[in-house]
């Protein structure tokens, strides 16, 4: 019997890489997508996995044709995945008063939003035809409220939540499930650059373990860790006047890279 297949974008570091390792540990076949294909291949080889169980597809998620081509290559070489995880994402600070930061916002949306839809696109029709499959969108607790200096990132992750909710409704009854995961603070190369306190910080491996379980159960939405879910709900009900006062004066988030 052929082992199940998972397709993961953003697999070269952080959450994506931890998820790849977790699925491999459970015997899954892997389709790994990253911009840095050579680095991705070197990492996969270093794990000692059977070369027949994984493939690397170099692609830029911000370029629709690039990621769609990667998906089609996966279908041709490995078949229809059982799970597709849109894990690629970027977090870059912006100030709307700065002209160059409008380009930052466009890039953020291209990766975090359009890139996610383009990741899912090649697989929806074949999954529908098969009558099964799971599409996983990685959002963030930053989707709950807009934080000063984080406008592009917060808006993009709020968009992920709404997009996945829309897609879930569209696929209802098809056998294809849509799972939205909202990570809190996860120890990755991106968050290590943060200079502020990160409550309930957890390792990427611990996140991957909980995410693996949530995806297997087909939950529609899950914040990991759960404590950040509680914090997010409290922030959501906080009166705007108080929320604005508490967050006023925060500077643009330090520029970061892709994850």
Which backbone phi and psi does 229 adopt, to 5 degrees?
-65, -40
Whether the CB-CB separation of 152 and 104 falls below 8 Å is answered with yes
Residue whose pair of structure tokens reads 């997010």 in the numeric block? 232
Element (H, E) at 73: helix 64-78
Catalytic residue among 23, 153, 163, 185: 153
**Token pair for residue 194?**
């943060």
CB 190 within 8 A of CB 259: yes
Q: Are residues 8 and 85 in contact, defined by beta-carbon separation less than 8 angstroms? A: yes
236, 75 Cβ separation under 8 angstroms: no
Q: How many CB atoms lie within 10 A of CB 64?
A: 16
How far does Cα 129 stand from its chain's mean position?
Answer: 25
State how far the Cα of 165 lies from the Cα of 103, in Å rounded to an integer.
27
Would you call 196 a catalytic residue per the annotation? no
Residues annotated as catalytic are 153
């Amino acid at each position: 019997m052929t082992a199940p297949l998972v397709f993961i974008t953003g697999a070269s570091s952080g959450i994506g890489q931890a998820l790849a390792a977790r699925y491999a540990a459970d015997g899954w076949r892997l389709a790994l997508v990253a911009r840095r294909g050579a680095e991705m291949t070197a990492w996969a080889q270093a794990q000692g996995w059977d070369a027949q169980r994984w493939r690397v597809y170099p692609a830029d998620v911000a370029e629709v044709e690039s990621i769609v081509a990667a998906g089609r290559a996966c279908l041709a070489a490995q078949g229809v995945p059982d799970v597709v995880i849109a894990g690629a994402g970027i977090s870059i600070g912006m100030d709307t008063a700065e002209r160059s930061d409008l380009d930052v916002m466009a890039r953020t949306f291209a990766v975090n939003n359009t890139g996610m839809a383009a990741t899912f696109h090649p697989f929806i029709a074949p999954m529908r035809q098969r009558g099964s499959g799971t599409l996983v969108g990685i959002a963030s607790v930053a989707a709950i409220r807009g934080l000063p200096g984080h406008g592009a990132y917060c808006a993009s992750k709020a968009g992920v939540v709404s997009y996945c909710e829309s897609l879930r409704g569209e696929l209802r009854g098809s056998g294809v499930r849509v799972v939205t995961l909202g990570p809190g603070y996860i120890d990755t190369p991106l968050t290590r650059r943060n200079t502020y306190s990160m409550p309930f910080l957890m390792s990427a491996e611990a996140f991957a373990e909980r995410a693996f379980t949530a995806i297997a159960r087909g939950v529609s939405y899950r914040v990991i860790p759960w404590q950040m879910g509680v914090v997010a709900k409290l922030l959501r009900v906080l009166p705007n006047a108080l929320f604005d006062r508490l967050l006023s004066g925060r500077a643009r988030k330090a520029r970061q890279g892709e994850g």
